[in-house]
Structures are given as C-alpha cells and as structure tokens.
Structure 1
Amino acid sequence: MNITILNTAIKQDKKGLFCINDIHKASGNDKSKQPSNWLRLDSTQELIQELEDSSYLRSGQKAIEVINGGNYRGTYVCKELVYAYAMWINAKFHLHVIRTFDKVIQQDYQRQRLRELAKVEYKPMTDAIKLERENQGKDIKPHHFSNEADLINRIALGMTSAKFKVHHDINKNESIRDYLTPCQIKCITDLQRANTTFIQLGMEFEERKLKLMELFKRNHIVSLFDEQQSIAA
C-alpha cells in the first residue's frame, strides 16, 4: 500500500505499520504536535494497550514498533493509531488522512480484483493455443505460450514481462501483476480475452497482432495515458 499525504510519502515497515514521523511531517512539522508528545499521553497508552489486547490487529502484529537505524528509522504504528494521532493534530488533517487511506484501500482492492481477473483470463488463452495446435497436428512447446504473453505485454506495457521486471527492479520469480496499475491490468485482461477469440477463429500471429494493436489504440491508450499523468501529478 503506497500512501502519500499532502505530498509526503508515508513509509511502511515489513509488517505493514506506518511511519508516524512521516505523518507528523505531512501535517506541517509543528513541534508541539511531535509524535513523542502524543505517545506520552495516558489516553494514547491506553489505546495502544487496548489494541494489543484485542483482536483488531492481525495475528503477531504490534500496535507500535521503533526502528532505530537505517533509512527506515522512526516510530511505526498501525492504521488505528495513525487515525488517532491525526485527530490529535487537528480535525481537518484527521479527515484528510482518513480520506486518503480510504482511497488507497479502495484502489488496492480494485487492483487485486483486476489482478485475479487477468489471471483467470490467461488460462482460456493458453487452452485456445493448445487446442489450435492440436487441431493442426503440431507440437506444443512452452515458447508457444510465452510468445502470446509477450505479444500482449509488448502492446499493453511497451515491453515483455522480463524487460518490465528489469526496468522496475522486480525479482524474476515475482509476477508483474503485483506491480501493474489498474488500467494496465484491465488492458492486459481485455487483450487476453480478445486474443483468445482471435486464436479460436484461426487467425495467424501477425493478423492477431494488428487486431490487438487496433483494440489497444481504440480502447486503452487514452485511459493509460491519463492514469500515468494522474500518478505523476
């Protein structure tokens, strides 16, 4: 989950806790509102205790942790404490934090839903490839499937999956779907679905490539451009 509040990126630790020092920075860095002042309050300590004694947190997760060294040093807290700290700062900032988190959570949910849909749509395409080659009495090799995936990715992303991983410093064993935007995932899903139909109709590779590029230009290029502009803003 990538959170940016008032142009300040909020770091997360490996356990999903948020850097409260970044929250303080986003609020304007008022010295009287430093996290240490808030953490000393009895009400804050009571809330921390309640969170850790209850079932609000994921199994094994703490409400607050401190990292003392490195690039990620700072005090990290769960989402509930982020909200409580923001409310202590002021009501306007509190509402902004809640709305930002709600928006990012909704985007993450949408991305995950689209990711699963893209995964589901991939199998019919590979099944169509397999059936088409069997009907033609041809052997089926792994590259027949990877060629189709590369075709889709080149059109949707401008590069193959392997190059995308290198370009974005992604481990070669990870799926690129976890790093795609909602519009990119939707584009890949639509192209996979269309390619499945084209394969079933017996279209050759180059003909399918032209058809898919036309589909990309007509239905996706504008939304992808707008999305990238929004991300960069």
Structure 2
Amino acid sequence: MAKIKVLDQDITIVKVNDEDFISLTDMLKSKDGEFFISDWLRNRNTIEYLGIWEKIHNPSFNYGEYATIVSQSGLNSYKVSVKEWTSKTNAIGLIAKAGRYGGTYAHKDIAFEFGMWISAEFKIYLIKEFQRLKDDEQKKFGWDIKRNLTKINYRIHTDAIKENLIPKQLQKSQINFVYANEADILNVVLFGMTAKQWNESNPDLKGNIRDQAGMYQLVCLANLESLNTHFINENITQEQRVQKLNEVAIKQMSILLDDSNMQKLENK
C-alpha cells in the first residue's frame, strides 16, 4: 500500500494482481457537495468507458449483462452499485474492499477518468502525483539492484580471500591492501582499469567505478566474484585467475547484451 497527496487529500494506492488500484473513496472526499460513486456509475459515458476497458483487459467480461446495464444507464430510475456492477459483469477494473483500508478502488486507468469527475484540476494533479510515486519507486528499485548485486557474494568472496590469501599476523593496512588488490583484479578484468586509475580519469564523477557501472556490468561482476572465490579456493595463481576471469567476462557480457530480459531490466 502507498499513499499520495492530491490537493491536500491523501489517496491510497494498493496492488491487486501486480496492478495499481487507486481509492475512489479517498478521491471522492475532494468533490464538493454530497455525491456517491453510484452517482458516477449512473452516467452512460462512465458505463461505456468501463465496458471498453473491460473488453480490452478482461476476457471473462459478461457482455450480455453489460448490454442490459448500458440500456438502462442515464435513466432517472437506474442505479447500480460497484458490487452489483462487478457481480453482474465479472468486471475486474473496480473492486470493493472491506476491512481497515476498505472502500472502492479502481484500476489506475479508470481512477484517472474518475478524477475528471472530481474536477479537471484534480485529474491533472492525480496523474502528476501518481507518476512521481512511480518514478520514486523505480529510482529506489534501480539503486537497490545496483548495490545488492555487488553484495550478494561479498561475504563468500572476502572469507575466501581471508582464508587463502592473507598470511597470519598481518597489519591492518596490509590486510586492506590485499582486499583492495583482489577487488582491483575484478575491476581490471571487467572495466580495464583499477579503481585508482578510474578515479584519476573521472575526477568530476561521484562515487566509484562500481557505482557508475551499468546493469549488465553489475550482473557480470556478481558472477565474477563467485568464480574468483572458487579459483582462490583452488589455489590458482593470480596471473592465471586474471586470464580466466577476463575470458569469462568477455563471454558473459556478450551473452547479457543479447538477453531480452536484461534489456527490459536495464530500461526500467
């Protein structure tokens, strides 16, 4: 569940089958006068819009019941609730929820149309705030992936270095040097330069070489960390590891760049 604020009104957004549904009940609080969602459903344009949306998104939509409702819409005697609409037509675009966060929710496409019924200004700000929420979610999602991909094998990788490469009774500065050296092996294998060389070449960029890496490189880097751990445990020399890791990096990057799922993830 998430919330956005539109013209000082808190609007609840929930996920239903991985789709965003916006609370019409919350939105209605911004409309002047006493109105109900059933009043909106009496409008023939509303029913026609809902029918078109359901035809596009819902293969189980009941067209027979829909035709009956359309023929009655707009009449003074006509009235239908959200529960009646959904039960008669098998509609999926509107839902009535009970409980703490109960109320009427609509798929975002429908909620935007409902926003126009509140006011043109409300609809514009609703779309704007909803998009801001989605942009914030994507930024957080992308940042988490970038940071977590490089951390997935960190503990395994550093434990292998400590067990196999660090002699006993080394000073802390010497231990840090060994870790940095191993990290730079992967940097050179994948990026063609050490962290220091990258910093010197990019003084105006924030972060480090891995912070500026793309999604493809970070996926490959996580795989190289696991592979390097295995090589370390097998007591393979550094020179041999560099050569083997570079060959793997070239092959994996070629595969990743042609992978359609990775392309979708990179574009998010």
When normalised by structure 2's length, the TM-score is: 0.45
What is the alpha-carbon distance in structure 1 between the residues aligned to residue 23 and residue 177 of structure 2?
A: 49
Aligned to 1:50: 52
Aligned residue number for residue 18 of structure 1: 22
Structure 2 matches for 1:20-169, cutoff 5 A? Answer: 20-25=24-29, 27=30, 29-31=31-33, 33-55=35-57, 62-67=92-97, 69-123=98-152, 125-126=154-155, 127-136=157-166
Is 1:200 equivalent to 2:179 in the alignment? yes
CA–CA separation in structure 1 for the residues paired with 2:119 and 2:141? 33
Q: Write the deviation string for residues 175-203 of structure 1: whole angstroms up to 9, x where unpaired.
A: xxxxxxxxxxxxxxxxxxxxxx877138x
- 1:137-196 CA-to-partner distances (Å, cap 9, x unmatched) read 79xxxxxxxxxxxxxxxxxxxxxxxxxxxxxxxxxxxxxxxxxxxxxxxxxxxxxxxxxx
Deviation per CA, 1:117-143: give whole Å up to 9, x if none.
Answer: 1221203533234323322379xxxxx
Residue 80 to residue 110, structure 1, CA distance change in 2 (3 Å): same
For 1:13 and 1:2, the matched residues in 2 are separated by 6
Letter in 2 for 1:201: A
Partner of 2:3: 3
User: What is the SS of the residue equivalent to 1:3?
Assistant: strand
Amino acid aligned to 1:64 = L
Give the fraction of aligned pairs with identical amino acids, expressed as a percent.
21
Post-superposition offset of 1:76: 0.9
CA-CA distance at 1:37 after TM superposition: 1.6
Structure 1 residues 128 and 96: alpha-carbon distance in aligned structure 2, compared to 1, 3 A threshold? same
C-alpha distance in structure 1 between counterparts of 2:158 and 2:111, whole Å: 49
Distance 1:198 1:54, change over 3 A: farther
Assess if the C-alpha contact under 8 Å between 2:21 and 2:105 holds in 1.
yes
Q: TM-score, normalised to structure 1's length? A: 0.51
**Residue 52 (structure 1) shift:** 1.5
Q: 1:83-113: CA deviations, max 9, x gaps?
A: 1011122111111111101101111111111
How far apart are the structure 2 equivalents of 1:107 and 1:65?
26
Cα distance change of structure 1 residues 198 and 51 upon mapping to structure 2, 3 Å threshold: farther
How has the CA–CA distance of structure 1 residues 71 and 199 changed in structure 2, closer, same or farther, with 3 Å as cutoff? Answer: farther
Residues 66 and 76 of structure 1 are in contact (CA less than 8 Å); yes or no, is this contact kept in structure 2?
yes
Distance in 2 between the 1:198 and 1:82 partners? 57
Secondary structure of 1:201's partner?
helix
**Aligned pairs, how many?**
141
Please identify, of 73-82 and 126-135, the stretch whose mean Cα deviation from structure 2 is larger: 126-135
Q: Which structure 1 residue ranges, 5 or more long, are not aligned?
A: 139-196, 203-218, 221-233
